[in-house]
């Protein structure tokens, strides 16, 4: 296990969504880590050899093994590292924390990328940072690397992932809605599920820590409209479970309900449409979600597996807990889309070797 003299190495950029999520997790669990900026292309080749894909972050264990995928890495550390962890024992809270983590990872990625890369202010900051950090070793002028980076990210993750001019207002309204909901929660409770951080908070550190609370445009919105959310970002970063005396609520707080309703209205229907597009072997698909049109959204094999995982978490519960949870999921419109598709187009043994080997990246964007 990692120690101060043999920490895990966290390979990732210090402005990366999922790297920031892992940093928050390691800090909250007091797991010693050392952040290392990856340099392209040597790191990419090494990572592909070690775990099958190139994405951020990768974790290198003191025994030399490499890992990928924040969700499964966290589950692995939760089993391996003794002491109180981030996954609540209560079956309903546990399922909800897994669902919120998944939503934070997969749904809020697109708006986070939008705010960073759509606005010149964000694109200038992030392209300079990445051109000099991750692409620092490429023998090209910085301006050329910045231009390449802006083009890659827009064509991969914003305009090229369904956010057309007619989607922008709706995508941003969705973020404002989330901020309103979270502001309501964090103005009277320190963490999502009580007085103690859970996997749900760690999940939300993905979109917030290195994106909404860092990029110039959303950061100003947070300062003005959601100061309690900004405070939560720093509180999570500065909390250690080993010295946290707060507890999770014994029941799911009522103010989590509107978040679940949004998951039922847009996220789970999106996962179903994505799975149908994968089954039909499409690279892209069009869809309207919560009144927002997305044209040419990229299909994701990885997100088919995410939907399968959510179903699996439910199936593993005992009958009484399944019944309680079913009522809650029905109440918020999550039950029907969770089970809408009779079969999911997973490839054989897809992602079974995680966290030590991955089959698919979240989105197949070209290197």
Ligand X SMILES: N[C@@H](CCC(=O)N[C@@H](CS)C(=O)NCC(=O)O)C(=O)O
Query: Counting contacts by CB under 6 A, is residue 198 touching ligand X?
Result: no
Q: How far is the CB of 158 from ligand X (least distance, A)?
A: 12
Which CB atom, from 201 or from 333, has the smaller least distance to ligand X?
201
Greatest C-alpha distance within the chain: 62
Query: Counting contacts by CB under 6 A, is residue 102 touching ligand X?
Result: no
Distance CA 78, CA 34 (A): 19
Which CB atom, from 17 or from 294, has the smaller least distance to ligand X?
17
- DSSP states of 128-179: HHHHHTTTTTSSS-HHHHHHHHHHHHHHHHSGGGT--GGGHHHHHHHHHHHH
Query: Counting contacts by CB under 6 A, is residue 16 touching ligand X?
Result: yes
Q: How far is the CB of 118 from ligand X (least distance, A)?
A: 17
Query: Counting contacts by CB under 6 A, is residue 205 touching ligand X?
Result: no
Q: How far apart, in Å, are the Cα atoms of 261 and each of 147, 153, 236, 264?
A: 39, 30, 25, 5
Which CB atom, from 105 or from 161, has the smaller least distance to ligand X?
105
* Interacting residue with ligand X among 71, 181, 299, 350 (CB under 6 A): 71
* Interacting residue with ligand X among 56, 126, 259, 292 (CB under 6 A): 56
Query: Counting contacts by CB under 6 A, is residue 70 touching ligand X?
Result: yes
* Interacting residue with ligand X among 23, 69, 102, 159 (CB under 6 A): 69
Query: Counting contacts by CB under 6 A, is residue 244 touching ligand X?
Result: no
Q: Are 123 and 113 in contact (CB under 8 A)?
A: no
* Per-residue exposure over 274-300, b if at least 16 CB sit within 10 Å of its own CB, e if not: bbbbbeeeeeebebebeebebeebbbb
Which CB atom, from 18 or from 285, has the smaller least distance to ligand X?
18
Distance CA 38, CA 325 (A): 42
For the packed helices 70-80 and 91-106, what is the interaxial angle rounded to 10 degrees?
150
* Interacting residue with ligand X among 8, 9, 10, 18 (CB under 6 A): 18
Stretch that binds ligand X, among 162-170, 220-228, 240-248, 359-367 (CB under 6 A): 359-367
Which CB atom, from 39 or from 322, has the smaller least distance to ligand X?
39
Q: Angle at CA 4, nearest 5°, toward 199 and 66?
A: 60
**Residue ranges in contact with ligand X by CB under 6 A:** 16-18, 55-56, 69-71, 105, 361-362, 365
């Amino acid at each position: 296990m990692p120690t101060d003299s043999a920490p895990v190495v966290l390979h990732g950029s210090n402005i990366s969504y999922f790297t920031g999520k892992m940093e928050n997790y390691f800090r909250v669990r007091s797991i010693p880590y050392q952040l290392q900026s990856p340099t392209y292309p040597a790191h990419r080749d090494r990572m592909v050899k070690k775990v099958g894909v190139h994405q951020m972050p990768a974790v290198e264990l003191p025994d030399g093994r490499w890992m990928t995928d924040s969700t499964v890495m966290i589950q692995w550390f939760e089993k391996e590292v003794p002491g109180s962890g981030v996954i609540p024992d209560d079956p309903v809270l546990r399922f909800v924390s897994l669902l919120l983590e998944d939503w934070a990872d997969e749904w809020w990625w697109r708006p986070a990328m939008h705010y960073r890369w759509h606005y010149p202010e964000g694109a200038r900051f992030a392209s300079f940072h990445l051109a000099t950090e991750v692409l620092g070793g490429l023998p090209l002028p910085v301006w050329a690397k910045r231009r390449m980076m802006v083009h890659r990210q827009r064509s991969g993750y914003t305009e090229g992932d369904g956010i057309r001019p007619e989607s922008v207002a709706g995508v941003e309204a969705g973020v404002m809605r989330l901020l309103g909901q979270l502001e309501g929660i964090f103005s009277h409770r320190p963490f999502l599920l009580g007085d103690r951080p859970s996997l749900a908070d760690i999940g939300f550190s993905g979109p917030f820590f290195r994106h909404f609370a860092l990029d110039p445009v959303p950061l100003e919105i947070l300062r003005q409209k959601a100061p309690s959310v900004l405070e939560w970002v720093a509180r999570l970063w500065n909390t250690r479970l080993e010295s946290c005396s707060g507890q999770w609520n014994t029941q799911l707080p009522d103010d989590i309900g509107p978040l679940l309703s949004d998951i039922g209205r847009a996220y789970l229907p999106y996962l179903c449409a994505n799975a149908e597009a994968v089954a039909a072997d499409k690279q892209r698909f069009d869809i309207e979600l919560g009144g927002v049109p997305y044209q040419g959204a990229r299909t994701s094999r990885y997100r088919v597996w995410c939907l399968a995982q959510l179903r699996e978490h439910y199936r593993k519960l005992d009958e009484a807990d399944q019944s309680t949870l079913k009522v809650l999921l029905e109440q918020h419109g999550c039950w029907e889309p969770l089970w809408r598709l009779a079969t999911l187009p997973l490839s054989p043994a897809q992602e079974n070797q995680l966290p030590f080997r991955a089959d698919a990246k979240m989105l197949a964007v070209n290197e």
